Amino acid sequence: MLNKQVMSPLLSIRALSTCFQIQETVVKAVDNVSLDIYPDEVLALVGETGCGKSVLALSILRLLPENSLSEGSILYKGFEILEGSNEELRALRGREIGMIPQSQASSLNPLLKVGWQVMEVLRLHTKVRKPDAHKKVVELFSRLQLPEPEKRMDYYPHQLSGGMRQRVLVSMGVACNPNLILVDEPTKGLDAVLRMEVVKLLGRQAAENNRSMLLITHDLSVAALLADRIAVMYAGEIVEMGSSAGVLKIPRHPYTQSLLDSLPGRGFKPIPGFSPSLSRIPPGCRFQPRCRVACSKGAALHPDLREADPNHYVRCFHAD
Amino acid sequence: MGRFICKRLAATILVIVAASMLTFGILHLTPGSTPATILKYAFIGLEEIPTDAEITEITTRFKLSDPLYQQYYRWIKQALRGDLGDSYVYRLPVAELIGLRFPATALLAVLSVTLSLLISIPLGILCAVKRNTFFDHFNRLLALFAVAMPSFWLAYLLIIVFSLGFNLFPVAGFRSLSSLVLPCVTLAAGMGAVTLRIMRSSMLEVMGQDYILTARSKGLYERSVIAKHALKNAFLPVVTVVGLQFGHMLGGSVIVETVFSWPGIGKLLIDSIFAKDIPVVQGCILLIAGTYALVNLLVDLSYALMDPRIRYGRES
């Protein structure tokens, strides 16, 4: 494998914070996050529901509602996304950075045929004629193993099964061959068999097309199967980041250790307590109240993200 | 689909029969003796006192002394054969009378609904797109006024300003096309305000859906997101409301037709109720219930055209 550290990153996020103003309260969903995604790499962003993973993905595409504010820097091939004009962002979305949205049940327009919905993104960004776009989408469908692809073009979302809808969403995200694909909770709400199918599908997609992928999931086992590197997020910030093997085999942060222990094959032990409300974040270590090795230092002071091993970053006083 | 329509039409007939029974019963509960009222309105004048001989004459002529169920039975038997009877007051067949009055009501209904849609749909969409701006607040306030203002009050205001003040439109009656303007505006204001608010809220709800985020993530222009992805979905609830409004208008607006002395079904109905012209009232109710149910059926059928998820009478 290439040494990624010497290549320049495709996407470089520095000190990104995203807040939401909801009436009088400010919710800090993403707090001072820095990460890089290199060409031809799958980076998994792992964490509990509500830790800010999806907000991070939507910040990259600038698709958050008006009551949000993103600060810091998101560089895509040297282009500052946070300062991009509407027109520049439009050209980026779908063409350079594709998104495979979460919840297959509600992410397709119920009143439009699925073939048309995939053709739309192709015809928007490439100068293909309608019949050619049609042909391309049929090809895409068959490559993603959607049964009877020609016939499915004229189906409405409700006529497809969950797995088929997921394939349609995948084909929509990859239609224009974007350099970076954001995949948001691809296995959410799918049964075990379907989950494996989707994972295989995404794995093939990443391997065949040499594209970078930001994989957002709460499921460490999905991350283990697909990711080159893993970033673990807790309460809006990254607590551990490193190579997939490093994070999974020698987890350094107690949160990552607890997450691994909560997997069905690894003891199924739930993590006690709840993650803090993002509108009232405690001053010290955010995981301290739930930590199995909670220290008094963590109650008062907020640990920094430090390089504990080479290219393995941990936000914990115990890792020092 | 065919079976669905047949079932609905059968239900419509039941609705009409039930409505006619209720009206018949209620009409006989209203104060004032039936023969005396008919006499006053149709024969001797409102200020006269009818004599016993006249009362007996009317009672026997219209068979008003029979038990109520017999009178109703006689009416429905005739009605099912297509004969709605004759008006006591106008001494014309009821069907002919309705045929004379319905066009004026239908014209008013079509024009006022069209006017209401032309204003409320674009404004509703714009309010949703520019939500919480001055434009949005202003139009919502205006709509609130329009919906809160009773139609007879708005009608009188319009008459005072545009008929008596500027002498632009006739005060009442239906003599020329300019007679249509004030009643049309009065009706459209009330309906349009409701449609605007529903269009706006429906649009806002749709704009928050996941598939709109998907559409934006493709890099679509915001206007394509609205036109191709949001509008069609947002129209679904609006169609129901507008359909019901139109059905309502086809039955004639009693208040607006009375204020403007509009020669339509609403005015005919209210006049006939005062005169206890039972066959005419029954005929009007038949028409109103029938058109309302029919328009409802058409709305449901249009749903199947707009939303592929809805298929009537076919197992999926």
Sequence letter at residue A316? C
Lowest mean pLDDT among A88-97, A248-257, A279-288, B305-314: B305-314
Question: Residue B66: what pLDDT?
Answer: 83
Alpha helices in chain A (DSSP H): 53-61, 86-92, 114-125, 130-143, 149-152, 162-174, 192-209, 220-226, 244-249, 254-261, 296-300
Residue boundaries of the structural domains of chain B: 1-89+275-291+306-316, 103-274
The three-state secondary structure class of A313 is strand
Res B151 pLDDT > 60: yes
Class of domain A4-96+179-274+303-319 (CATH, top level): alpha beta
- Written as one string, the DSSP assignment of B87-147 is -TTT-SBHHHHHHHHHHHHHHHHHHHHHHHHHHHHHHHHHHHHTTTSHHHHHHHHHHHHHH
Å from B215 to nearest chain A CA? 9
Question: What is the pLDDT of chain B when averaged over all its residues?
Answer: 88
Element at B304 (helix H, strand E): helix B278-306
Q: What is the pTM of this model?
A: 0.85
Share of chain A above pLDDT 70, in %: 98
Question: Residue A30: what pLDDT?
Answer: 93
* Nearest-Cα residue of chain A relative to residue B316: A159
The pLDDT tens digits of the residues spanning A7-36 come to: 789 999 999 999 999 888 899 999 999 999
What Rg, from alpha-carbon coordinates, does chain A have? 20
Interface confidence, given as ipTM, is 0.90
A101–B213 CB contact, under 8 Å: yes
Q: In what order do the strands lie in the sheet with A237-243?
A: A97-100, A180-184, A212-217, A42-46, A229-234, A237-243, A312-314, A306-309
Q: Which residue has the higher pLDDT, B136 or A263?
A: B136
Å from A75 to nearest chain B CA? 18
Question: Residue A2: what pLDDT?
Answer: 47
Question: Residue B42: what pLDDT?
Answer: 78
The pLDDT tens digits of the residues spanning A50-89 come to: 888 999 999 999 999 888 999 999 999 989 999 999 999 9
Å from A8 to nearest chain B CA? 26
Res A162 pLDDT > 60: yes
What is the torsional sign of CA B207, B211, B214, B219? negative
Q: Which residue has the higher pLDDT, A152 or B29?
A: A152
The segment(s) of chain A belonging to CATH 3.40.50.300 are 4-96+179-274+303-319
Res A134 pLDDT > 70: yes
Sequence letter at residue A291? C
Res A1 pLDDT > 50: no
> Which residues of B fall below an 8 Å CB-CB distance to A?
209-211, 213-222, 228-229, 232-233, 306-309
Element at A74 (helix H, strand E): strand A68-76
- Partners of A110 on chain B (C-beta within 8 Å) are 211, 233, 307-309
Q: What is the C-alpha to C-alpha distance for residues B235 and B228, in angstroms, rounded to an integer?
A: 12
Question: Residue B120: what pLDDT?
Answer: 95
Question: Residue B314: what pLDDT?
Answer: 55
Element at B280 (helix H, strand E): helix B278-306
Question: Residue A114: what pLDDT?
Answer: 95
Whether the Cβ atoms of residue B264 and residue B252 lie closer than 8 Å to each other? yes
- What is the pLDDT confidence band of residue B305, given thresholds at 50, 70 and 90? confident
Res A172 pLDDT > 90: yes
Report in angstroms the alpha-carbon separations of B51 from A114, A257, B35, B275: 79, 103, 11, 18
- Chains A & B: contacts with CB separation below 8 Å: 71
- What is the pLDDT confidence band of residue A6, given thresholds at 50, 70 and 90? low
The pLDDT tens digits of the residues spanning B8-60 come to: 888 888 888 899 999 988 888 887 778 888 888 877 777 777 788 888 888 88
Class of domain B103-274 (CATH, top level): mainly alpha
Question: Residue A3: what pLDDT?
Answer: 52
- What is the pLDDT confidence band of residue B218, given thresholds at 50, 70 and 90? very high
- Partners of A186 on chain B (C-beta within 8 Å) are none
B219–A120 CB contact, under 8 Å: no
Pick from A101, A156, A158: CB nearest B214: A101
- What is the pLDDT confidence band of residue B313, given thresholds at 50, 70 and 90? low
Question: Residue A80: what pLDDT?
Answer: 94
B306–A111 CB contact, under 8 Å: yes
